[in-house]
Structure 1
Amino acid sequence: MGTANQNCWVLAGDWLVRAAGHGEWRTAADRGLDESGWQATPTVRRWWMDADLAGESAVLYRRHFELPPELAAELGGADSTARHDARWWFVASGLCDLGHLWLDEAYLGDLRGRHFEHAFEVSHLLRSSSDHLAAVEASRGAAHAASGAGSHLRISKSGPARIARSRALVIEASYDRAVLRVSATVDSSGTHRAEVTTTVLPIDDPDAGWSEDPTRPLARLGDGLAVSEPVLARGQNDLVWLVALEGPALWWPAGMGDQEQYCINIDVSIDGRSSHAVRLRTGVRTAVLRSGELYVNGESCGGRPGEVAAAQHDLADRGTYDDADAAGTMLCQQIALDPNVYAGAERGLRALAARAAASAADHAGHHPSVVSWQPLPPPGRRQWPRAFSPWAYRSMASAMRAADPTRPVLPPDRR
Structure 2
Amino acid sequence: MRVAQTATVGMIVSGLQDRERGVSLSGRWKARQAEEGDRHHVGDIDLDDSDWVEIEVPGLWRNVEEFCDADGVLYRHRFELKGLDERRRRWLAIDGLCYQGDVWFDGAYLGDTEGYFVEHCFEITEATSLSGEHLLAIEATCDEPVDRTAKRNITGVLQHSDSLDQRLNPGGLWRDVRVEETGPIRVDDLRVLVLEADNDRAIIRLGATLDSAVTTTADIGTLISCSEITEHQQQIVLARGRNEIEWHVAVEKPELWWPFALGDQPLYDVQVEVKFEGERSDIRVRRTGFRTFELRNWIASVNGERIFLKGTNLGPCSNDLSSVSRSDYRRDLTLAKNAGLDLVRVHGHIAHPHLYEEADKLGILLFQDFPLQWGHARTIKMQAIRQATAAVAQLGHHPSLVLWSAHNEPFRYDHAPGVRADSGNNTKYGPFASRIQQIPSWNRTMLDRSVKRSFEKVDPTRPVIAHSGVPPHVPQLDGTDSHLWFGWRHGEISHLQALASRLPRMLRFVSEFGAQALPADEEIAKACESDKFPDLATSVLSDKFGAQLDLLERHSPLRSSENWADWVLRTQERQAEVIRHTVEILRTLKYRPCGGFCQFLLADAMPYVSCAVLDHRRQPKKAWDALTAANRPVIVVADLHGETMLMGQKTCAVHVVSDLRDHIGPATLTIDWHAPGSKPQRWTYSGHFEPDSVTKVAELILMADRIGYASLSLELRGTGVHAINSYEIKVC
- TM above 0.5, yes or no, is yes
Structure 2 match to 1:258: 264
Structure 2 match to 1:392: 447
Amino acid at match of 1:40: E
Secondary structure, in 3 states, of the residue corresponding to 1:406?
coil
Residues 339 and 413 (structure 1 numbering): CA distance in 2 closer, same or farther, change over 3 Å?
closer
Cα separation, 2, equivalents of 1:262 and 1:343: 41
Residues 104 and 396 (structure 1 numbering): CA distance in 2 closer, same or farther, change over 3 Å?
same
Give runs of aligned pairs for residues 26-37 of structure 1, distance below 5 A: 26-37=40-51
Do residues 311 (structure 1) and 325 (structure 2) align?
no
Structure 1 match to 2:30: 16
Secondary structure, in 3 states, of the residue corresponding to 1:316?
coil
Pick the aligned partner of 2:243 from 234, 237, 251: 237
Q: Is the 8 A contact 1:305 1:372 kept in 2?
A: no
Residues 275 and 343 (structure 1 numbering): CA distance in 2 closer, same or farther, change over 3 Å?
farther
| CA RMSD after TM alignment | 3.0
> How far 1:258 sits from its partner (Å)?
0.5
Do residues 111 (structure 1) and 113 (structure 2) align?
yes
Extract unaligned runs of 5+ from structure 1: 1-6, 76-82, 206-217
> How far 1:287 sits from its partner (Å)?
0.8
Higher RCO, 1 vs 2 (CA within 8 Å, ≥6 residues apart) = 1
Cα separation, 1, equivalents of 2:448 and 2:26: 40
Structure 2 match to 1:155: 179
Extract unaligned runs of 5+ from structure 2: 1-20, 143-152, 160-169, 313-340, 414-435, 470-482, 484-732
Aligned residue pairs: how many? 376
Structure 1 match to 2:364: 329
Q: Is the 8 A contact 1:167 1:183 kept in 2?
A: yes
> How far 1:409 sits from its partner (Å)?
0.9
Secondary structure, in 3 states, of the residue corresponding to 2:57?
coil
Cα separation, 1, equivalents of 2:468 and 2:360: 25
Cα separation, 2, equivalents of 1:102 and 1:122: 10
Cα separation, 2, equivalents of 1:304 and 1:399: 28
Q: Is the 8 A contact 2:154 2:372 kept in 1?
A: no
Cα separation, 2, equivalents of 1:339 and 1:192: 49
Cα deviations across residues 81-134 of structure 1 (Å, max 9, x unaligned)? xx3221111221112221011111100011222333322111211136723211
Amino acid at match of 2:118: F
> How far 1:153 sits from its partner (Å)?
1.7
Using the TM superposition, name which of 128-137 and 368-377 deviates more. 128-137
Structure 2 match to 1:211: none
> How far 1:289 sits from its partner (Å)?
1.0
Cα separation, 1, equivalents of 2:93 and 2:52: 24
Cα deviations across residues 112-169 of structure 1 (Å, max 9, x unaligned)? 2233332211121113672321101112346239898971221111111101211101
Pick the aligned partner of 2:197 from 173, 193, 198: 173
Do residues 404 (structure 1) and 449 (structure 2) align?
no
Pick the aligned partner of 1:228 from 234, 240, 247: 234
Structure 2 match to 1:63: 77
Residues 389 and 259 (structure 1 numbering): CA distance in 2 closer, same or farther, change over 3 Å?
closer
> How far 1:52 sits from its partner (Å)?
4.2
Higher normalized helix content (fraction of residues) = 2
Cα deviations across residues 153-194 of structure 1 (Å, max 9, x unaligned)? 211111111012111011101011111111101111120100
Cα deviations across residues 302-346 of structure 1 (Å, max 9, x unaligned)? 149889532113111111111111111111011135899x98648
Cα separation, 2, equivalents of 1:303 and 1:25: 50
Q: Is the 8 A contact 2:88 2:184 kept in 1?
A: yes
Secondary structure, in 3 states, of the residue corresponding to 1:229?
strand
Do residues 352 (structure 1) and 383 (structure 2) align?
yes
Residues 129 and 200 (structure 1 numbering): CA distance in 2 closer, same or farther, change over 3 Å?
closer
Instruction: Give percent identity, aligned residues only.
Output: 34
Using the TM superposition, name which of 117-126 and 185-194 deviates more. 117-126
Cα deviations across residues 207-242 of structure 1 (Å, max 9, x unaligned)? xxxxxxxxxxx83xxxx2221111011111111111
Amino acid at match of 1:374: S
Cα separation, 1, equivalents of 2:261 and 2:130: 58
Amino acid at match of 1:311: R
Q: Is the 8 A contact 1:115 1:363 kept in 2?
A: no
Q: Is the 8 A contact 2:292 2:302 kept in 1?
A: yes
Using the TM superposition, name which of 240-249 and 84-93 deviates more. 84-93
Cα separation, 2, equivalents of 1:376 and 1:369: 20
Q: Is the 8 A contact 2:80 2:131 kept in 1?
A: no
Cα separation, 2, equivalents of 1:150 and 1:188: 30
> How far 1:391 sits from its partner (Å)?
2.0
Do residues 373 (structure 1) and 387 (structure 2) align?
no
Residues 305 and 405 (structure 1 numbering): CA distance in 2 closer, same or farther, change over 3 Å?
farther
Amino acid at match of 1:390: T
Amino acid at match of 1:63: H
**Which TM-score applies when normalising by structure 2?**
0.48
Q: Highest CA radius of gyration, 1 or 2?
A: 2
> How far 1:34 sits from its partner (Å)?
3.1
Do residues 363 (structure 1) and 363 (structure 2) align?
no
Using the TM superposition, name which of 330-339 and 368-377 deviates more. 330-339
Q: Is the 8 A contact 2:342 2:364 kept in 1?
A: no
Residues 344 and 268 (structure 1 numbering): CA distance in 2 closer, same or farther, change over 3 Å?
farther
Structure 2 match to 1:208: none
Q: Is the 8 A contact 1:167 1:365 kept in 2?
A: yes
Residues 35 and 178 (structure 1 numbering): CA distance in 2 closer, same or farther, change over 3 Å?
same
